[in-house]
């Protein structure tokens, strides 16, 4: 009986040990996978910023190219640059969910309900002078919230490029926001009309002005969503105060 008990207890000990080892291995793998997913998401975001800024090329070293970008944080109400406690972990989406770090939007053109009080933007400089300004934008389409970047020249008026990096719009319709030919129509377009009023928009029937982009065929709701987010984020409730304050010669706001 004693020998049987010893065998039983040894079996239990081995089984528990195996469970512990497997648990540690699974946990370690899960953590490693999660970190890799974060790294991949960060790299993909950087790639899309490069695309918006018209600086992406095939086989480019994305991390190396991104060293030319300066990340700054903007108080959207005042348009001034501000410091944040943890720049590396700053997440504008998470901030928008925190009542202490966000505001409810009264005139919610972009249909996002709340926005962070502070936004993360990127600058490309030549010495101290700003060459390109990259602004994050997001808003509701038909089936999803679209997240992207719009890049502007130093005149704060001319579009360098646009790129959406996350959305769930219908392929072939609203999903045409990823169409390279459509994206190629953005560079050179103007934010403001002759009267200095924000006028950049998607229009049906063919773009004829330097403030117009062809609407997405068969995707009225997505087209409206993009127009609304452009109006919000480039207007007075979004980056308007920042663009007005930014001194491109000194790179300060």
Residue 163 lies inside a defined structural domain of this protein:
yes
Evaluate if residue 34 carries a pLDDT over 90: no
Evaluate if residue 36 carries a pLDDT over 90: no
Residue 250 lies inside a defined structural domain of this protein:
no
* pLDDT mean over 225-237: 96
* pLDDT mean over 53-61: 91
Evaluate if residue 207 carries a pLDDT over 70: yes
Residue 171 lies inside a defined structural domain of this protein:
yes
* Domain range enclosing 229: 68-245
Residue 45 lies inside a defined structural domain of this protein:
no
pLDDT-based confidence at residue 99 (cuts at 50, 70, 90): very high
What's the confidence (pLDDT) of residue 98? 96
What's the confidence (pLDDT) of residue 149? 97
The model's pLDDT over 167-198, given as tens digits with 9 standing for 90+, comes to 988 887 778 899 999 999 999 999 999 898 99
Residue 9 lies inside a defined structural domain of this protein:
no
The model's pLDDT over 122-147, given as tens digits with 9 standing for 90+, comes to 999 988 899 999 999 999 999 899 99
Number of domains in the chain: 1
Average pLDDT, the chain: 90
Distance CA 222, CA 177 (A): 9
pLDDT-based confidence at residue 3 (cuts at 50, 70, 90): low
Residue 87 lies inside a defined structural domain of this protein:
yes
What's the confidence (pLDDT) of residue 4? 60
What's the confidence (pLDDT) of residue 126? 87
Evaluate if residue 5 carries a pLDDT over 60: no
What's the confidence (pLDDT) of residue 152? 98
Residue 156 lies inside a defined structural domain of this protein:
yes
Residue 74 lies inside a defined structural domain of this protein:
yes
Q: Closest by alpha carbon to 142, among 172, 185, 114?
A: 172
């Amino acid at each position: 009986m004693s020998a049987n008990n010893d065998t039983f207890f040894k079996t239990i000990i081995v089984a528990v040990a195996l469970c512990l080892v497997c648990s540690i291995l699974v946990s370690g793998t899960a953590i490693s996978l999660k970190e890799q997913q974060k790294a991949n998401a960060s790299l993909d975001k950087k790639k899309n910023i490069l695309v918006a800024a018209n600086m992406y090329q095939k086989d480019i070293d994305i991390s190396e190219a991104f060293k030319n970008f300066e990340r700054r944080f903007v108080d959207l109400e005042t348009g001034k640059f501000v410091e944040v406690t943890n720049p590396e972990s700053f997440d504008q989406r998470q901030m928008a969910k925190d009542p202490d770090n966000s505001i409810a939007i009264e005139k919610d053109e972009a249909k996002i309900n709340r926005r962070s009080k502070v936004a993360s933007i990127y600058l490309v400089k030549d010495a101290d002078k700003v060459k390109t300004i990259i602004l994050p934008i997001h808003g509701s389409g038909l089936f999803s919230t679209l997240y992207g970047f719009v890049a502007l020249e130093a005149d704060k008026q001319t579009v360098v490029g646009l790129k959406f990096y996350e959305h769930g719009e219908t392929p072939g319709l609203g999903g045409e926001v990823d169409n390279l030919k459509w994206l190629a129509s953005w560079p050179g377009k103007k934010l403001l009309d002759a009267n200095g009023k924000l006028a950049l928009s998607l229009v049906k029937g063919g773009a004829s002005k330097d403030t117009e982009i062809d609407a997405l065929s068969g995707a009225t709701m997505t087209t409206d969503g993009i127009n609304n987010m452009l109006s919000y984020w480039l207007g007075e409730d979004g980056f308007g105060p920042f663009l007005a304050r930014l001194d491109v010669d000194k790179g300060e706001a």
